[in-house]
A = this chain, B = another copy of it.
Amino acid sequence: MKILIPFDGRNPKTRLSQTLSPEERSEFSAAMLEDVLDAIPSDSLDPEVVTTEPFDRDPGVETSTSSEPLNSVVNSYIDSTVPVAVVMADLPLIRTEQVERLLETPGDVVLAPGIGGGTNALVVRNQSFSVDYHGVSVRDHQRIARNRGLSTTKVDSYRLGLDVDEPSDLIEVLLHSSGRAADWLESNGFEIVEPGGRPTVARESD
């Protein structure tokens, strides 16, 4: 099955700007993408990174570049072939087990919700579905499916639910992953601290 992994090769993870420099955001995003790719068994599946413009790392899998918005890119894939899966590139807690759970879950449309209303992973098995990733997409995707008479199933996964957008998400990477993004954070001085008993992530002073 084709698994699309949308990746912003240009200016990723802007909401981490207070914590990471542009170059660091680029490195950390690439590490998260590698964690996602590491979780996808490429001997049995067909991962493809889709990016808005070429980026200077070789992800080791098929990569396509499109200036089209994400919704158009994904909907073109759905129009051409189903089933197709879409897995976001900022899920460093993902493991092969979660990819398998996602693909084994029945339903015309399978949704893995992200914290705050996003759709972190998706399987589409019917061509009458289309995606709309803006706003509260997990709700919108349920509505779109319902309007077209399609069944939806939600996957109950913490590891798929944790997309990394904000500095407060970084603690999840250090707690629940030993992959490349976690390595990158540790190598760059990030650690868990508990000021006043509330756990967070801080960076060692240089």
Check if A192 is an interface residue, CB within 8 A of chain B. Answer: yes
Selected interface stretch from A1-9, A16-24, A152-160: A152-160
Check if A203 is an interface residue, CB within 8 A of chain B. Answer: no
**Chain A residues bordering chain B, tally (CB within 8 A):** 28
Check if A139 is an interface residue, CB within 8 A of chain B. Answer: yes
Check if A136 is an interface residue, CB within 8 A of chain B. Answer: yes
Closest to A192 in B: B136
Instruction: Pick the residue among B98, B113, B138, B199 that contacts A117 (CB under 8 A).
Output: B199
20 A-B pairs within 8 Å (CB atoms) are namely A97-B156, A98-B156, A113-B158, A113-B175, A113-B176, A115-B162, A115-B172, A116-B168, A116-B199, A117-B171, A117-B175, A117-B192, A135-B194, A136-B175, A136-B192, A136-B194, A139-B192, A157-B157, A158-B160, A158-B161
